[in-house]
Amino acid sequence: MLTGLAAASLLIWIVLLLFRGGFWRGRERFVCPPEADENRSWPAAAVCIPARNEADVLSQTLRSVLTQDYAGPFHVVLADDASTDGTGDLARRLAVALGAEDRLTVIAPPPLPEGWTGKLWALNAAVAEAERVSPEARYLWFTDADILHDPDNLRCLIAKAETEDLDLTSQMVELACVSFWDRLLVPAFVFFFAKLYPFGWVNDPSTRTAAAAGGCLLLRCKAFARAGGLAPVRDRIIDDCAIGQQIKRHGRPADAKGRAGRLWLGTSGHARSARAYESLGEIWRMVTRSAYTQLHHSPWLLAGTLLGMMLIYLVPPAIALTWPLHGTALAGLTALTVWLAMALALMPTLRQYRQPLWLALLLPLAAVLYTGMTLDSARRYHSGRGGGWKGRNQAAGTGQSSASRQDSPESH
């Protein structure tokens, strides 16, 4: 039985490593194209930032947006979503201090309606205002309020979109790795995300795989409008991937092969999070917000996921470490081979995050923790406290919308 389990895990890893779009190689890394340095006419852009209680980081992050080294016209719209920490006032003062008050508009979104998540409603209000103040914009740049951008990021994004004729250009921003838990779980999170949505497949217009990373997402306005804007995805918790799916399906008229919108998704060297998850609890809350949503709130998919995680990540080290006890050489060698293979697969991601390679051996531990987070995400959903974002429950297991209800203190 042990040999059979180890062999099954080995077979799965062979399929993953050879036939899953090379997700583990980390080849899709954002590089600023040479065209970004050309002296030419640059199209207008509008930047949309949903913000709710971001005063602790906004002085850094908004500064990085307002001071972009971009030769074309761009305007920033910040949607202050009922913040209680002075986010909107801080944004206005910062713009004045930078001499960029004519480049920033701060708005308060209307009351949250039924059927919308809080973040998407704030973002939708920002888009509506951007269309009013910048009707000439060719691109919309969505970025979260806690993301730091290099001064050339907007220029590089638009140069890539223009050169490669992209409808959506998205960077998975670099997350901070400060504590032990960051170092263990952040590279594994990127690894698991890329396994779920292989970036090479996302970027191939001939495939149906679509995804995006909401921390830094550049949209061609025509494609965004053709896909229906944000209304079709208004209730989605994993909103960035939902936007990517809409753009790939409807972003432009399909060609003879049925290909529509063109996407690019990769890891970023030009944008990073201003916040670090310094404790396991912070990471746990971040993941439980959307883990069960990824499984379509299905108990059957949850059960299959738990069994799959055990077979893929937990069985190999368990059999290898208990080799002296069970004494089955073939099972032990096969399991050890699988464990080493998964560790090698994680190493490119660890290198990107400048982390010690020995952490690759702890990938099974990271998998155990993420499995626990997924279970907790399901528990929270079925208790009516799912999808928490900035004090709101945005997914409830009671059959009714909970977007306007306040969450319990533990989820803040």
The answer to whether 351 touches 179, Cβ cutoff 8 Å, is no
Residue type, 188: A
Domain boundary among 225, 253, 278: 278
Residues 90 and 125 both lie in one domain: yes
pLDDT, averaged in runs of 10, over the chain (412 residues): 95 97 96 91 97 95 97 97 95 97 96 93 97 97 97 97 97 92 95 96 94 95 96 93 95 76 94 87 88 90 96 97 94 97 98 96 97 94 69 50 35 28
**Is 16 among the domain residues?**
yes
Evaluate whether residue 402 is within a structural domain: no
Give the span between the Cα atoms of 371 and 357, in whole angstroms. 23
Q: Which two tokens stand for residue 245?
A: 């799916």
Q: Angle at which helices 87-97 and 55-66 pack, to 10 degrees?
A: 40
Reduced 3-state DSSP string for 242-281:
HHHHHHHHHCCCCCCCCCCCCEEEEEEEEEEECCCCCCHH
Residue 122 resides in a domain: yes
Q: Does the residue 146 lie in any domain? A: yes
The verdict on residue 36 lying in a domain is yes
Residue 237 CB contacts under 8 Å (≥ 6 apart), including other chains? 117, 289, 290, 293, 386, 387, 394, 395
Contact (CB, 8 A) for 399 and 317:
no
Give pLDDT, residue 53. Answer: 94
Burial of 143 (0-12, 13-18, 19+ CB in 10 A): buried
Query: CB neighbours of 367 closer than 8 A, spacing ≥ 6?
Result: 188, 309, 312, 313, 314
Assigned domain for 245 exists = yes
Structural domain including 292 reads 2-22+287-394
196 and 291 in a single domain? The answer is no
Question: Same domain, yes or no, for 251 and 292?
Answer: no
Per-residue confidence (pLDDT) for residue 202, from 0 to 100: 97
Q: Find out whether 304 and 66 touch, Cβ atoms under 8 Å.
A: no
What is the CA 345 to chain-centroid distance, rounded?
21
User: Is there a single domain that holds both residue 224 and residue 306?
Assistant: no
State the DSSP code for 29.
B
278, 300, 317: which is the final residue of a domain?
278
Among residues 278, 310, 340, which one ends one of the domains?
278
Residue 265 and residue 125 share a domain: yes
Can you state the percent helix, strand and coil of the chain, rounding each to 5? Answer: 50, 15, 35
Tell me, yes or no, whether 120 and 92 share the same domain.
Answer: yes
The total number of structural domains that make up the chain: 2
Q: Looking at the domain assignment, is residue 49 inside a domain? A: yes
Considering the domain architecture, whether residues 202 and 343 belong to the same structural domain is answered as no
- 240 and 292 in a single domain? The answer is no
Q: Is 410 within the bounds of a domain?
A: no
Candidates 249, 250, 262; CA nearest to 218 is 262
Q: Are residues 121 and 226 in the same domain?
A: yes
Helix, coil or strand: residue 389: strand
243 and 309 both lie in a single domain: no
**Residues 126 and 260 grouped into a single domain:** yes
Q: Do 358 and 267 fall within a single domain?
A: no
pTM value? Answer: 0.90
CATH code where residue 106 lies: 3.90.550.10
